Chains A and B, each alone.
Chain A
Amino acid sequence: MKVITAYCNLRADECLVNGEVVSRRDAGSDDSWFKQIYKQQELAYPKFYKMDVLSQAGYLASELIKRATPGISETYADDEIALVFANASSSAETDRRFIQSYEGGGSPSPSLFVYTLPNIVLGEIAILNKWYGENMFAVLPKFVPGFYLDYGGILFASGSRALLGGWLEVTAGGTDVLLFMVEEQESGMEFNEANLLHLSQRVAAY
């Protein structure tokens, strides 16, 4: 059966892997919350600093999921891990910053513009891991398990063997991120509506 083999939640003050807190926000730090996670988890990928918040969130959560599923990149061929992400506000936060770059006397910033598409985070994860598989980004009013279950089912039926699913809502109003890895296994947390809803609500509760 299809099983959620690892998941990562990022919320306002905590970063959790498989439900366990792995990083806590230090309110006294000058560093952004995502940079605190990057440092606390001793990650080393300087491109992180160039990424917009969506890509930073996707990078952090996918790296932590890889740690929790050792050997995932070796288990599958380079095009067998599909990425299916969604959120509600597209790349609005970066869009706002890009508009700021050219309104009020400045000039449009190319390094911001290239992040004004929600699917760029999929590209960042694909580049880092050299994953050539299927990618899809949808914009939905809210987290809906059925979206991942339906499209995941299609991808599993057409050659993908693992699925990295993601809900990435990072705005001025809050951080609500859930990434989860789905693989074929004999037992474990089944990839179904109830479990996905449960994992997502762990985020929404805060």
Chain B
Amino acid sequence: MIYIGAEVIVSPLGDNAEDNWQALAENRSGIALVPAVGFNKEDIHLAKIAGLNGRLRFQQLVIKALIGVKACIDDSILTSDRTIVLISSTKGALDDNLHDQFGETCAAVMQQFNLAHLPLVISNACISGVLTLNVAGNMVEAGQYEHVIVIGCDVASDFVLYGFQSLFAVSDKPCAPFDAARNGITLGEGCGAALVSASESVFKNTPLQLLTGTSANDANHISGPSRTGEGLVRSVSRTMQKHGIGTKEIDFICAHGTGTVFNDEMEAIAFDRLSLPDKPLNSLKGYFGHTLGAAGLIETAVCMQMMRNGMLIKSLGYRNEGTSRPLNIILENEPKSLRTILKTASGFGGGNASLMIRDL
């Protein structure tokens, strides 16, 4: 069995999983209107962490998250040769060093925590987080490592904001995933982390089970979502098949739900094709914004908190049905015992990834 636990979330809503959970339970969002940050000095909605400014923002977040994980585990495994740290990110410390966006952070983390191996960076656009958790599960399953600490992190930058503005993909209000009036993404920054391990005893709190998933390319377009959801359908069906899980057993779907017209429509088509449209589903982008390489980690950590607390969290920003295939979007928080959940992600480059978490 592959265990996952010690989840940490650093976001505008707090520095740890508990504070973030408290905010979600109250349906508080980390998104705020930031004055004059747009390319033409427009006010833009962003989920920015207060006080996170200047150099080494990326490194600070990664270190903060790792300190958080360390406090939740038997910390002697950190320095073990059987442990590796994986970092999931799209743009890393781009603002610090364009030509080496990850090297300085990896070296600093290795030194500060006395790691046996240099952290490995995986950069696959918006599926990075889910993909990296799957890589971690696969590494543990194959016996390559006994413990894999996964950290997903991206920080806000003019670079990424201007880019999405140039695509006319930034929402003029806080993003509204799956809503009829959605019109784009809201960018966020943050960091999520968790430990994936072959050993149950290294976790201070009871871990959950990681049902490692698969990824699939859409083979359609580098920046436009597939019209058929083919890649997402293939990824999810392979993930479920791999573990012999039928649609009946899925209690909840944490979708990608960016809030763009075409992404959310693609996901609705895919979940319909997968015979999963009646499953309670949310997107967490209304709370955290789109945190890119961190999204898969932060959102999986929230799923784990939902399972631990037995509560479905409402999909913030959703009001009216806005996809050609209806979905069962969560309208209000609701107590519910969750045994098995599905987490998905889709992104630029045509990537789609999925994983499942199950309670012990």
Contacts and interface: CB of A to CB of B under 8 A. Distances in A.
B121 A139 contact: yes
Interface stretch (A21-29, A32-40, A101-109): A101-109
Nearest to B162: A108
Contacts of A117: 90, 123, 125, 348-349
Interface string A107-134: 1111001111111101110110111111
Interface string B114-149: 000010111111000001000100110110100000
B166 A90 contact: no
A129 B100 CA distance: 31
A204 interface: no
Nearest to A121: B349
Interface stretch (B214-222, B266-274, B308-316, B324-332): B214-222
Interface stretch (A63-71, A153-161, A180-188, A192-200): A153-161
Interface of B: 39, 90-92, 94, 98-103, 106, 118, 120-125, 131, 135, 138-139, 141-142, 144, 159, 162-167, 214-223, 230-231, 234, 238, 242, 348-351
A132 B101 contact: no
A24 B19 CA distance: 60
A89 B100 CA distance: 6
A151 B102 CA distance: 20
A134 B94 CA distance: 27
Contacts, number: 153
A173 to B, nearest CB: 9
25 contacts: A90-B102, A95-B98, A98-B159, A102-B39, A107-B166, A108-B39, A110-B167, A114-B223, A119-B351, A120-B125, A126-B350, A132-B217, A132-B218, A134-B214, A134-B215, A135-B349, A139-B122, A139-B123, A141-B103, A141-B106, A150-B139, A150-B142, A154-B142, A154-B144, A171-B99
A136 interface: yes
Interface range for A: 35 or more
Given A99-B159, A110-B166, A154-B139, A135 B121 contact: no
Q: A-side binding surface: helix, strand, loop or mixed?
A: mixed
Contacts of B215: 134-136
